[in-house]
C-alpha cells in the first residue's frame, strides 16, 4: 500500500511552526518559499498543457531562486519549474540547497516529476524538505528521500578524471 501523506493548511500557524521546527526551516523561510513559488506560477509558459507550476528554492547561504515550467511544441523539450529554479541557482554559484517548494493549480498538492527528483538529488541531501502547495495553499511536506528512495547521487560516481577498473 502506498504511503499516505498529510495535507496541512498554510494558514494554520501552529502546524506551520511545528513543521518548520521538524524540518529545520525558519517560519520566514517557509513563508517566503510559499509566496515565491505561488508567484512563480504566473510566469509559466504552458500553452499546451495549461498546467502551471511554480517553484522556489533556498540555498544553504539563504539565497532564493524561482522558476516556472516552460513548454515547447516538441513536448520532451519543455523544462519543469524545479529545473528552471535549480539552473538559476547553479549558474549563480549556489550548489547546496536547503529547501524546495512547488506550487500548482490542483488539489491535492503535486510532487516533482521523476526527472526533477533526480535533478534535485544532485544538489540536495536526502534530508532536504520538499514542500508541495496546492491551489488552496494547503501543503504536503516530505524529505527528498521519501520522494526518491534508494537513490544515487554524485557521491556514488567516480571522481572526475578517475575510472572504475
Q: Which residues are catalytic?
A: 82
**What is the Cα–Cα distance from 106 to 143, expressed in whole angstroms?**
21
**What is the Cα–Cα distance from 107 to 82, expressed in whole angstroms?**
19
The DSSP call for residue 162 is: -
Contacts of 39 (CB under 8 A, 6+ apart): 54, 66
What angle (nearest 5°) sits at the alpha carbon of residue 73, between those of residues 67 and 75? 70
Amino acid at each position: 500500500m502506498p504511503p499516505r501523506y498529510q495535507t496541512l493548511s498554510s494558514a494554520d500557524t501552529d502546524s506551520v511552526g511545528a513543521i518548520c521546527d521538524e524540518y529545520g526551516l525558519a517560519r520566514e523561510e517557509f513563508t517566503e518559499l510559499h509566496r515565491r513559488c505561488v508567484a512563480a506560477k504566473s510566469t509559466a509558459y504552458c500553452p499546451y498543457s495549461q498546467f502551471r507550476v511554480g517553484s522556489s528554492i533556498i540555498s544553504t547561504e539563504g539565497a532564493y531562486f524561482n522558476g516556472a515550467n516552460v513548454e515547447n511544441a516538441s513536448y520532451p523539450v519543455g523544462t519543469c519549474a524545479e529545473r528552471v529554479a535549480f539552473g538559476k541557482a547553479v549558474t549563480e554559484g549556489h550548489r547546496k540547497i536547503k529547501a524546495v517548494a512547488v506550487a500548482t493549480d490542483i488539489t491535492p498538492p503535486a510532487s516533482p516529476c521523476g526527472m526533477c527528483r533526480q535533478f534535485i538529488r544532485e544538489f540536495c541531501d536526502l534530508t532536504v524538505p520538499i514542500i508541495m502547495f496546492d491551489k488552496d495553499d494547503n501543503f504536503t511536506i516530505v524529505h527528498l528521500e521519501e520522494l526518491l528512495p534508494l537513490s544515487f547521487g554524485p557521491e556514488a560516481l567516480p571522481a572526475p578524471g578517475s575510472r572504475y577498473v
